[in-house]
Amino acid sequence: MNPVDPAQRMRLADQVAALDRLIARVEAVRLSLPAGDSSRWSGPAGFAFESAIRALGSELGRAVERLTEASAQSRRALAGVTAGVR
């Protein structure tokens, strides 16, 4: 990447900002999942519901983790580009 190209730097900054917004969005989705407790309905169906909600939460947790990694790497690349400009 050309370190002095301002358009490319802007796109990189946009990527960081968009990833941060996406992390917040997926995190909010994860927190809004229905409670996975089976106190209100019991038996095998309650257990299956509980497991499915737990698995969904884990999957969303993985997505947040990978998006955070993408954001961190993009931020690092942006820092490198900005340092090159100076």
Partner 1 sequence: MSDDLVISGGGTVRVETSALGEAALRLRTVSSELHAGLRDLACVDRLIGPALLTADGSTGLLAAELAMDDAERSLRAASDRTGALLGALSAAERTYSLAERAAHGLWQEVSAFLAYGVGRALPLMLPFLAPIAVGVGAGILLTPAREALAAAFSRWAMVNSTVVSDPAFVIALRTVVGAVDDFGAGLIGAPPELQRLAGDEGLGLVGLATAARVVLGIANRAGALEETRVSVEPVGAERPTEPPSGWRDRAARIPQGEVPIRIERYTVPGEPDRFEVYIAGTQDFSPVAGDDPFDMTSNLSGVAGLGSGSERAVRQAMEQAGIGPGDPVVLSGHSQGGLVAASIAASGDYSVSALFTLGAPAAEVPVPAEVQWIAVEHDDDLVPALGGNWRGDDAVIVRRRVFDGEPDREPFAPAHRRDRYVETARLLDGSADPRITAIAETVDPGSGARGTSRLYDARRL
User: At closest approach, how far in Å is the CB of 55 from partner 1?
Assistant: 6
Q: Residue 6 Cβ, how far from partner 1 at the closest point, in Å?
A: 14
3-state secondary structure 12-73: HHHHHHHHHHHHHHHHHHHHCCCCCCCCCCCCHHHHHHHHHHHHHHHHHHHHHHHHHHHHHH
Binding site residues, partner 1, CB under 8 A: 1-2, 8, 11-12, 14-15, 18-19, 21-22, 25-26, 28-29, 32-34, 40-41, 45, 48-49, 52-53, 55-56, 59-60, 62-63, 66-67, 69-71, 73-74, 76-77, 80
